[in-house]
């Protein structure tokens, strides 16, 4: 597999040798769906049982093409993970995508991520894991934390972990997070006030990226700071150097984990190959990414205020500030090619 080189990108060709280059994407998360069995407070989009089933569901062919195009772009460094939402919601599709991707691009699968909601019986779980192993699964990541366990019984996570370790090998099962798995804190039956306190204790130990539902539900549990406190921060690392993208079924390509910022769309208005997108992408022409790379989320404020945005009294962090401004700008309708789709900002239509 031949990979592209940094100088193949249109911006990099124009830069002096000492200037930072737009990094090559070698890892991609394919978001097969926005549907999820749960509605976790930590979700960085607005996944849930009502989401999905629309234009943002990823087809088998499109997933296989993206997988191939990443391999063309990154060569032997290419790594794909399959995620959602919750990718086990449509198991046949997941299995077929996995099989095609692994057959056509050997050695490029990083992992599949799941919340283990589907592990409701020993035989069925064993059967599903066995089928995935036969299709090429090498590593499974199981999400387990205070937020996921509001919805998914802990026994399902334990069953999934035990059988996955047996079938795939212990070293091929990633439990995220191991400390919670060993000593879970369950908030399903407790009062709202106690739940809030438990979330707060958890957030002190481990922060969350406050985008999507997490920005809405968790930001208020942090000490809030005025936007001026974030004025010196830029996001050049996330916008230029992340080497990682997420792609959803609607064709939207997002930089790293900054979901909701659309680099471009691979399907609309016409099919665009991922490797060609990277080759021709000039982040300096992208109204959102250029400002974020240069001046961080405060760089978006002038445009937002001009359109009627009123800053909040405080923000929990730079990503909370970024999300709040972006959500406002998305709602103006003036950034349709650069911000979206709606489900990243709490709008459920067509998702
Ligand atoms: S502030 Fe915005 S661009 Fe920067 S890392 Fe957070 S979400 Fe990404």
d(CA 133, CA 131): 5
Q: How far is CA 308 from CA 30, 174, 207, 256, 259, in A?
A: 35, 45, 31, 29, 24
| DSSP letter (8 states) at residue 24 | P
Closest CA to 343 of 13, 49, 96: 49
128: its two tokens:
């599903």
| Alpha helix stretches (DSSP H) within the chain | 60-74, 91-104, 122-135, 154-168, 178-182, 192-205, 212-217, 236-240, 274-280, 287-295, 301-306, 318-332
Query: What is the pLDDT at residue 351?
Result: 60
325 lines ligand 1 (CB under 6 A): no
What SS3 state is found at 43?
Answer: coil
Under 8 Å CB-to-CB from 309, ≥6 apart: which residues?
A: 301, 325, 328, 329
Nearest CA to ligand 1 atom 4: 235
d(CA 271, CA 66): 11
Q: How far is CA 272 from CA 5, 100, 293, in A?
A: 19, 20, 24
pLDDT at 1 over 60: no
252-255 and 264-265 beta bridge pairing: antiparallel
Query: What is the pLDDT at residue 49?
Result: 96
318 lines ligand 1 (CB under 6 A): yes
Check residue 310 and give left, alpha or beta (phi > 0: left; psi -120 to 50: alpha). beta
Expressed in angstroms and rounded, the spacing between residue 119 Cα and the centre of ligand 1 is 34
The minimum-distance atom of ligand 1 relative to the CA of 321 is: 1
Nearest CA to ligand 1 atom 8: 258
Expressed in angstroms and rounded, the spacing between residue 148 Cα and the centre of ligand 1 is 23
pLDDT at 162 over 90: yes
The DSSP bridge partners found for residue 244 are 27
| DSSP letter (8 states) at residue 64 | H
The minimum-distance atom of ligand 1 relative to the CA of 260 is: 7
Closest CA to 139 of 195, 206, 83, 201: 83
Which residue is it, tokens 């990541």? 141
Which residue is it, tokens 């000492």? 18
pLDDT at 167 over 60: yes
pLDDT tens digits for range 44-103: 999 999 998 788 999 999 999 999 999 999 999 999 999 999 999 999 999 999 999 999
Domains in the chain, please, with CATH? 26-207 (3.20.20.70)
Contact 246, 29 (CB under 8 A): yes
pLDDT at 2 over 70: no
pLDDT tens digits for range 140-156: 999 999 999 999 999 99
Indicate the average pLDDT of the chain.
96
Q: Please state whether the peptide bond connecting residue 269 to the residue before it is cis, i.e. omega within 30 degrees of 0.
A: yes
- Check the CA dihedral 205-213-183-130 and report its sign: negative
Q: Which of 238, 255, 328 should be mutated for ligand 1, with most atoms under 8 A from CB?
A: 238
Expressed in angstroms and rounded, the spacing between residue 310 Cα and the centre of ligand 1 is 19
The minimum-distance atom of ligand 1 relative to the CA of 261 is: 3
pLDDT at 253 over 70: yes
Worst-scoring range by mean pLDDT, 84-88, 178-182, 191-195?
A: 191-195
339 lines ligand 1 (CB under 6 A): no
Nearest CA to ligand 1 atom 1: 319
Expressed in angstroms and rounded, the spacing between residue 267 Cα and the centre of ligand 1 is 25
């Amino acid at each position: 597999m031949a990979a592209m080189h940094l100088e193949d990108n249109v911006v990099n060709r124009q830069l002096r040798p000492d200037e930072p280059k737009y990094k090559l994407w070698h890892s991609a998360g394919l978001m097969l769906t926005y549907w999820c069995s749960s509605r976790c407070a930590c979700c960085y989009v607005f996944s849930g049982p009502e989401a999905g089933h629309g234009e943002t569901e990823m087809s088998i062919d499109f997933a296989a093409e993206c997988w191939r195009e990443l391999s063309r772009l990154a060569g032997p460094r290419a790594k794909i993970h399959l995620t959602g939402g919750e990718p086990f919601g449509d198991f046949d599709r997941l299995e077929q995508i996995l099989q095609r991707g692994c057959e056509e691009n050997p050695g490029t699968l990083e992992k599949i991520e799941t919340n283990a909601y589907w592990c409701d019986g020993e035989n069925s779980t064993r059967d599903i894991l066995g089928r995935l192993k036969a299709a090429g699964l090498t590593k499974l990541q199981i999400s387990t934390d205070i937020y996921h366990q509001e919805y998914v019984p802990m026994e399902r996570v334990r069953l999934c972990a035990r059988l996955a370790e047996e079938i795939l090998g212990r070293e091929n099962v990633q439990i995220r997070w191991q400390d919670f798995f060993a000593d879970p804190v369950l908030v399903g039956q407790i009062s709202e006030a106690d739940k809030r306190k438990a979330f707060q204790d958890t957030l002190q130990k481990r922060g969350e990226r406050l985008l999507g539902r997490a920005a809405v539900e968790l930001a208020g549990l942090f000490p809030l700071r005025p936007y001026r406190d974030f004025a010196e921060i830029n996001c050049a690392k996330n916008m230029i150097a992340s080497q990682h993208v997420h792609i959803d079924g609607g064709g939207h390509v997002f930089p790293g984990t900054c979901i909701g910022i659309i680099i471009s769309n691979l399907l609309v208005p016409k099919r665009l190959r991922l490797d060609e997108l990277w080759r021709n992408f000039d982040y300096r022409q992208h109204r959102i990414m250029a400002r974020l790379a240069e001046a961080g989320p405060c760089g978006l404020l002038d445009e937002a205020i001009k359109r009627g945005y009123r800053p909040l009294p405080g923000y929990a962090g730079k990503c909370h500030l970024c999300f709040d401004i972006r959500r406002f700008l998305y709602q103006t309708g003036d950034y349709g090619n650069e911000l979206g789709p709606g489900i990243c900002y709490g709008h459920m239509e067509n998702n």
